[in-house]
Amino acid sequence: MRRQNRLGFRRLGLTERLLAILLLVAAVDFLANTYLFDSATTTAVQRDDAARIGELLALAARAVSREVPARRTEAARALATRHFELEWKPSAAPGELRSPDPALATRILAAGPELAAEGQRLIVRHTHGSRDVTGIVVLADGSALGFRTYAGEISLQLSFWQILPMLLPTLLLGALAWLMFRATMRSLQTLVKALRHIETPSPGGLPEQGPDEVRRLIRAFNQMQRRIQRQQAERTQSMLAIGHDLRTPLARLQLRLDGAALEEETRAELEHDIGEMRHLLESLQAFVEAGGTQIPPQRIDIAIMAATLVDSAADQGLDARYDGPDSFEIMARAVSIRRAMSNLIDNALHYAGNVRVTLARAGDAVEIRVEDDGPGIPQDRLEEVFQPFFRLDTARTRDTPGMGLGLSIVQAAVKLEGGTLTLHNKSRADGAGTGLAAIIRLPLPAGAKPA
């Protein structure tokens, strides 16, 4: 789709373009060479022909001139060969004097200069497209010696078999160029791939490979990536620092509130505000921790964990349900996985008001589906919601808690376990209403027993 232009044709890639340029150059080069070779050969042939014609004609003219007119016809016939016909006439026919080829005449005269001496005149006609050269030598006494011969035989032999060996290197060159172009473009393709997955950069950057320009591009890209990573790290660090610095005054505020004489309602409101700030700090902390933790995985019962989270929500009077086995043990980091599931459940309850968690083994993985019957996420924003600090409700509505880190935390936690997180909008068979399904897949060690 993206590679179509307005006319609907598939747009050419850089490799194809380069190859097309090469082939065009080769074709022009070939044509030019062929033409030059052809004309050079033709000229050489014509020169040879002219010399031959000149010498023979000069000899014939001299021999015929020496004879008396009565014997000239006989003499001319005696001198003729199969490839060089000669005929003497008492006078030149007017038609034979028309449409001469002076260039060929000049070349012939160069070989037999006496043809134009002592009152003689040479008129040559070379019919284009034919091999025949005809003409007459008007002798000193006005009689005419007509001749007919061939020319340009070799030039016409510049045939397919001559063209093929000339074309062969071009074809080989084309094939070689294709391979080299592809090799050259590979580094560029690696770069393109890396650009697409910029959120998971390789630690050492991309290897600088390929031609100079591509190398420079990769270097610039690596530098940019390092800058982005550094900025992200700095941003994270400064947020953490702010978080740390906020915790102490917040603790003071909490304790002051505990000791203050306040109406119960005011106290509850203030408690709620502090709780919200605390929650923000916790989610920030979780986001930073999910990115990389020193804590090793441990054996946990993921089914009980999911059921417990659902029970806690149900205990608060919320519409939460768990379907799955009573027990399913896996190796994972308890805190981050619990937080991941809890975030998904909280999201569902917040946006849809209900949640259904199912857990089942799926091949070499355990699949945890967190589904709701809410409005889902607009299809074109399904990618965006994983971005840290992204909020679907752009107008920072007051009822959505958190910093837009929820799904980033889930994704980081799941990635830490080598698992995947996918989101998709459900569409029911009857088309009535939709909902969001968030699916966590965590790999099981090989040979894990089915639950």
Partner 1 sequence: MTAPSILLVEDDVSLRMLTARALRENGYAVRTAATGAEMWVMLEAEPAELVVLDIMLPGANGIELFRKLRRQSEVPIIFASARGSEEDRVLGLELGADDYIAKPYSARELIARIGAVLRRGGGEGATKGDERTSEVHFEGWTLSLSRRELRSPSGAMVDLTGAEFDLLATFVSHRQRVLGRERLIELSRTRLGDSSDRSIDVLVSRLRRKLSASGGEPPIVTVRGVGYMFKAEVRRG
Q: Which residues bind partner 1 (CB under 8 A)?
A: 244, 247-248, 250-256, 258-259, 274, 278, 281-282, 285, 289, 293-295, 298-301, 303-305, 308-309, 311-312, 315, 326-327, 329, 334-336, 338
Residue 396 beta carbon to partner 1: minimum distance, rounded to whole angstroms: 24
Q: CA-CA distance, 280 to 302, in Å (whole number)? A: 26
Residue 196 beta carbon to partner 1: minimum distance, rounded to whole angstroms: 32
Nearest to 336, CA basis, from 371, 385, 289: 289
Q: By C-beta, is 48 or 319 nearer to partner 1?
A: 319
Nearest to 332, CA basis, from 423, 406, 443, 420: 443
Residue 324 beta carbon to partner 1: minimum distance, rounded to whole angstroms: 12
Report the run of H or E that residue 85 belongs to, with start and end: strand 84-89
* Those residues with Cβ within 8 angstroms of residue 265's Cβ, 6 or more apart along the chain or in another chain: none
Handedness of CA 349, 351, 355, 360 (dihedral sign): negative
Residue 259 beta carbon to partner 1: minimum distance, rounded to whole angstroms: 6
Q: By C-beta, is 26 or 274 nearer to partner 1?
A: 274
Q: By C-beta, is 15 or 411 nearer to partner 1?
A: 411
Residue 250 beta carbon to partner 1: minimum distance, rounded to whole angstroms: 4
Residue 203 beta carbon to partner 1: minimum distance, rounded to whole angstroms: 21
Residue 307 beta carbon to partner 1: minimum distance, rounded to whole angstroms: 8
Q: Pairing mode, if any, of strands 319-323 and 354-362?
A: parallel
Nearest to 187, CA basis, from 223, 219, 211: 211
What is the chain's Cα-based Rg? 47
Handedness of CA 388, 394, 395, 400 (dihedral sign): negative
Query: Token pair for residue 16?
Result: 């194809």
Cβ-count burial 279-291 (b if 16+ within 10 Å, e if not): ebbebbbbbbbbb
Number of Cβ within 10 Å of residue 411's Cβ equals: 23
**Running DSSP on this structure, what letter comes out for residue 447?**
T
Q: By C-beta, is 295 or 362 nearer to partner 1?
A: 295
Q: By C-beta, is 167 or 360 nearer to partner 1?
A: 360
Residue 445 beta carbon to partner 1: minimum distance, rounded to whole angstroms: 14
Q: By C-beta, is 231 or 298 nearer to partner 1?
A: 298
Query: Is there a contact between 124 and 135 (Cβ–Cβ < 8 Å)?
Result: yes
Residue 240 beta carbon to partner 1: minimum distance, rounded to whole angstroms: 8
Query: Token pair for residue 277?
Result: 């700030």
Q: Pairing mode, if any, of strands 121-126 and 132-138?
A: antiparallel
Residues paired with 354 in a beta bridge: 319
Q: By C-beta, is 177 or 334 nearer to partner 1?
A: 334
Residue 245 beta carbon to partner 1: minimum distance, rounded to whole angstroms: 8
Report the run of H or E that residue 285 belongs to, with start and end: helix 264-291
Q: By C-beta, is 289 or 372 nearer to partner 1?
A: 289
Q: By C-beta, is 182 or 252 nearer to partner 1?
A: 252
Q: CA-CA distance, 186 to 436, in Å (whole number)? A: 39
Count Cα neighbours of 223 within 13 Å in the Cβ-side half-sphere.
6
Q: By C-beta, is 104 or 332 nearer to partner 1?
A: 332
